[in-house]
Amino acid sequence: MRASTALTLALAAGVAGCNSSASTKVDTAKEEAAIRATEKGWMEAYNRHDANALAGQYDDDGAIANPGMALATHASARRAMLDAVVADPALKVDFASDRVTVANSGELATSRGHYTMTFTDPETNKPKTESGSYLTVYRKAADGRWKALEDVITPGPAAAATAQ
């Protein structure tokens, strides 16, 4: 009888523990603000030509899909791509999210937005300005910061901003 009572109490405690964590509500507005602040720092790092800060924006297994470049799926490939981008003296980046969506779990989020980037055109060796859209999937890191898991940049007319 004692064993079944102990088992019942253990199960009840386990269920109560599950219920309390399940009822913890993520403040998605707070997380959205954190992502927007992260992106502001990210843009500033581009404009400082700071490859270290840019590399720190990515999750350990994050990927960058940048037009005209091979998909960078590991740290050394991401770093090589970022080093090449920030080495361009003409580099200037402006971007903003049009929509940030945070999963109710608070573990994943997306940011979709538009960008304008000036860089040295490899064909003409003159500055060129390009605009387009981006989609970034974020994962919450163990330290609580948002890190880019998938970062996809698409040149072309920027998508019209949508109401959130």
Neighbours of 4 (CB within 10 A): 8
- For residue 150, the model assigns a pLDDT of 98
Q: How many domains does the chain have?
A: 1
**CA-CA distance, 122 to 96, in Å (whole number)?**
26
Phi-psi region of 136 (alpha: psi -120 to 50; beta: other; left: phi over 0): beta
- For residue 12, the model assigns a pLDDT of 37
Q: What token pair was written down for 161?
A: 């901003």
- For residue 148, the model assigns a pLDDT of 98
- Asked whether residue 161 is domain-assigned, the answer is no
- Asked whether residue 74 is domain-assigned, the answer is yes
Residues in the chain: 164
Which parts of 23-111 fold into alpha helices (H)?
28-48, 51-55, 75-86
- Asked whether residue 108 is domain-assigned, the answer is yes
**CA-CA distance, 43 to 59, in Å (whole number)?**
17
CATH number, domain of 130, equals 3.10.450.50
Q: What token pair was written down for 26?
A: 């993520």
- Asked whether residue 122 is domain-assigned, the answer is yes
pLDDT by 10s per residue, the chain, length 164: 444 433 333 333 343 344 444 557 899 999 999 999 999 999 999 999 999 999 999 999 999 998 888 999 999 999 999 999 999 999 999 999 999 999 999 999 999 999 999 999 999 999 999 999 999 999 999 999 999 999 999 999 755 555 55
- Asked whether residue 124 is domain-assigned, the answer is yes
- In a 10 Å sphere around its CB, with 0-12 CB exposed, 13-18 middle and 19+ buried, how is residue 164 labelled? exposed
Domain limits for position 75: 25-155
> Residue type for 142, please?
A
- Secondary structure letter of residue 161 according to DSSP: P
